[in-house]
Structure formats: C-alpha cells, structure tokens
Amino acid sequence: MNIKSALIIVICASLGLVAGYAIFGKLAGSYVSMDTLLSFGGNALQSAFRSISGIEAMRNKILLCGVAGVVVGVLLAFTVKK
C-alpha cells in the first residue's frame, strides 16, 4: 500500500464519519456535541443515560458510516492503483 492509497482511505473514512454525523448526529433537533459522542466509560448512571437517550445507537450508526467510508476508500484505492 502506498501513500496515495492510504490517503484515499483516510479521506473516505473521514467523509463517512462526517456524513454519519450529519445524518445521525441530531438528538431533539440539535446536534450532539463531539465530547458526548466520544466519551466512553463513566459510571453506571452516565452509561444508563447514554443508553436511554439513544446516544449509544447514534454513535454506532456514525461509526458504521465511517466503516462504510473505509470500504469505499479501499475499493477506490484498488481501482485507482491500476
């Protein structure tokens, strides 16, 4: 894998994460802060709040969009490589 392929994969992954945040990042009409999305762990009360409020599901959907971006980036990297 060369630098160009790695750059394509990173750009597609980033675009996937941004698209996922734009689509799934809203909760009650406003976007959830990145700090809330990136916070893991915490005590049982915080975990219960994230689970009930849907932040865990939101985080999973955003990460899946990032994974989809990686897959698209790998496919593009292999086609551009030729």
Give the residues across from 27 on adjacent strands. 30
Could you read off the pLDDT of 30-77 as tens digits, one per residue?
888 888 777 776 777 777 776 777 888 898 999 999 999 999 999 999
Residue ranges covered by each domain of the chain = 3-81
The pLDDT score that the predictor gives to residue 66 is 94
Between 26 and 52, name the one with better pLDDT. 26
pTM: 0.80
